[in-house]
Amino acid sequence: MNLESFELVMLRRPADATPYDEATLERIQAEHLAYLASLREAGHVVTNGPVLAQPDESLRGLTFFCTGSTERARELAEADPAVRAGRLAVEVMTWWCPAGTMTRPGTTVTVEG
């Protein structure tokens, strides 16, 4: 079996997440989304997104990097404005999947906001 390697980053809300007012939280979230979009455009991120209905509410999202090393993925993930602001923490690991399977589409949903 041929496998492809990616770096999986789990984004978690720390128990001691830095508190901010609503306007600052909105700015941090917008910067977070823009940063991840820039990583996708640059080819460092294959895909990313939030998780819902998770049993562990601290888990906020997943990002699949294609950088070639967990060290580089960690460096990029820790530069995320939401991580730098203390709103998210990262867990980085290597993830393998059967070659070519990251291209299958999922169910399309529309999210407002």
Average pLDDT for residues 24-35, to the nearest whole number? 98
pLDDT for residue 107: 76
Q: Is the pLDDT of residue 90 over 90?
A: yes
Q: What one-character DSSP code corresponds to residue 71?
A: H
pLDDT for residue 111: 75
Average pLDDT for residues 1-16, to the nearest whole number? 95
Q: What percent of the chain has pLDDT over 70?
A: 99
Neighbours of 28 (CB within 10 A): 21
pLDDT for residue 113: 63
Report the mean per-residue pLDDT for the chain.
95
pTM of the model: 0.91
pLDDT tens column, 41-64: 999 999 999 999 999 999 999 999
Question: Do you know the residue count of the chain?
Answer: 113
The full DSSP string for 23-65 is HHHHHHHHHHHHHHHHHHHHTSEEEEEE--S-SSTTEEEEEEE
